[in-house]
Amino acid sequence: MFVTVETAARTAPAAVIVAIDGPSGTGKSSTSKAVAAKLGLSYLDTGAQYRAITWWMLNNGVDVNDPSAVATAAAKPVIVSGTDPLAPAITVDAVDVSGPIRTQEVTSAVSAVSAVPEVRTLITDLQRVIATSAGNGIVVEGRDIGTTVLPDADIKIFLTASPEARAARRSGELRGKVPVDVAATREALVKRDAADAGRKTSPLAKADDAVEVDTTDLTLDQVIECVVTLIEGAIARAGQQA
Ligand SMILES: Nc1ncnc2c1ncn2[C@@H]1O[C@H](COP(=O)(O)OP(=O)(O)O)[C@@H](O)[C@H]1O
Ligand SMILES: Nc1ccn([C@H]2C[C@H](O)[C@@H](COP(=O)(O)OP(=O)(O)O)O2)c(=O)n1
């Protein structure tokens, strides 16, 4: 049988764990999904889980600015994440929330909810179970994956980009759907980064052993290729040591 270069999936050994962290709009989700699909790995969007619990709090009348109210309710919603990079899915109490978790209301509240230690403990435990049970290996993206959730990941990547590039990318997603204000988008991104990096419990941070990739002047395809090369390098090194 002939397999062309275009159709052959690039292969990764069983159970490689890839951690991809970085601020909003640096390309984590797009890159992680594409890389996981190319390498035949599972994919986990941890931001979607924090958005899902935030959506539940808002829907159930919990004051998202009251950490003790959020902590008390944190264990109530049942969050289930799909791990197919070609069809990412997330449900709360069996309801598909992949659309509702992307609203502005959820985006504005998610940093406060995700700063509550009880929320982080529950979601971190869930993430570890999902990562360790992905027999084919997994790409996990978020803010604290390399530092806290999976400190023994086989490769850690930290994506960055200028606030201007990130605001332009986010505005591009909204253009045509709602009026777009790039300056306001930039301001909101920077504010959320500060909240995520400034919280006490597992803040947004680059792990000491993470490889930083500045995506400001790279196309998405270039970032994907760079990350695939980094993962393949880590796999080759692991193979040499075995
Ligand atoms: N290198 C890049 N160049 C241009 N646009 C990009 C790049 N990386 C991602 N994007 C676009 O930017 C937006 C945000 O990307 P996303 O992957 O959701 O970022 P994150 O998960 O880090 O918030 C998406 O519309 C995506 O297609
Ligand atoms: N591992 C993670 C992932 C996300 N979060 C929080 C902080 C982020 O502002 C929100 C939303 O994350 P998400 O990745 O969906 O955000 P963007 O798509 O980059 O806008 O969740 C977190 O605290 N820890």
Tens digit of each residue's pLDDT (9 = 90 or more) over 128-174: 999 999 988 999 999 999 999 999 999 999 999 999 999 999 988 87
Ligand closest to the CA atom of residue 28: 1
Total tally of structural domains belonging to the chain: 1
Ligand closest to the CA atom of residue 166: 1
**Annotation-wise, does 137 bind a ligand?**
no
pLDDT at 93 over 60: yes
Is 222 inside a domain boundary?
Answer: yes
Is 6 inside a domain boundary?
Answer: no
Whether the pTM exceeds 0.90: the reply is yes
Is 239 inside a domain boundary?
Answer: no
Separation of alpha carbons 64 and 108, rounded Å: 10
**Annotation-wise, does 29 bind a ligand?**
yes
- Name the 3-class secondary structure at 109: helix
Query: Phi, psi at residue 14, to the nearest 5°?
Result: -55, 140
Residue 146 CA to ligand 1 center (angstroms) comes to 20
Is 165 inside a domain boundary?
Answer: yes
Separation of alpha carbons 129 and 124, rounded Å: 9
Name the residue at shortest CA distance from atom 8 of ligand 1. Answer: 27
Short-list 83, 44, 11, CA closest to 228: 11
Residue 235 CA to ligand 2 center (angstroms) comes to 27
Separation of alpha carbons 86 and 68, rounded Å: 37
CATH of residue 52's domain is 3.40.50.300
CB under 8 A, 24+ apart: contacts of 70-74: 70/112, 70/113, 70/116, 70/118, 70/119, 71/116, 71/117, 71/118, 71/119, 74/116, 74/118, 74/119, 74/122
Do 98 and 90 contact (CB within 8 A), yes or no?
A: yes
Q: What is the pLDDT of residue 8?
A: 37
Cβ of 32 less than 6 Å from ligand 1: no
- Name the 3-class secondary structure at 212: strand
Tens digit of each residue's pLDDT (9 = 90 or more) over 116-129: 999 999 999 999 99
Is 13 inside a domain boundary?
Answer: no
Separation of alpha carbons 199 and 126, rounded Å: 21
Residue 50 CA to ligand 2 center (angstroms) comes to 7
Cβ of 54 less than 6 Å from ligand 2: no
For residue 4, name the pLDDT band (cuts at 50, 70, 90). Answer: very low
Is 235 inside a domain boundary?
Answer: no
Q: Which residues constitute the domain of residue 156?
A: 19-230
When the pLDDT of each residue in the chain is averaged and rounded to a whole number, the result is: 92
Is 210 inside a domain boundary?
Answer: yes
Q: What is the pLDDT of residue 12?
A: 52
Query: Taking residues 226-234, what's their average pLDDT?
Result: 95
**Annotation-wise, does 22 bind a ligand?**
yes
Q: What is the pLDDT of residue 227?
A: 98
pLDDT at 91 over 80: yes
- Name the 3-class secondary structure at 40: coil
Is 205 inside a domain boundary?
Answer: yes
Q: What is the pLDDT of residue 237?
A: 82
For residue 14, name the pLDDT band (cuts at 50, 70, 90). Answer: low
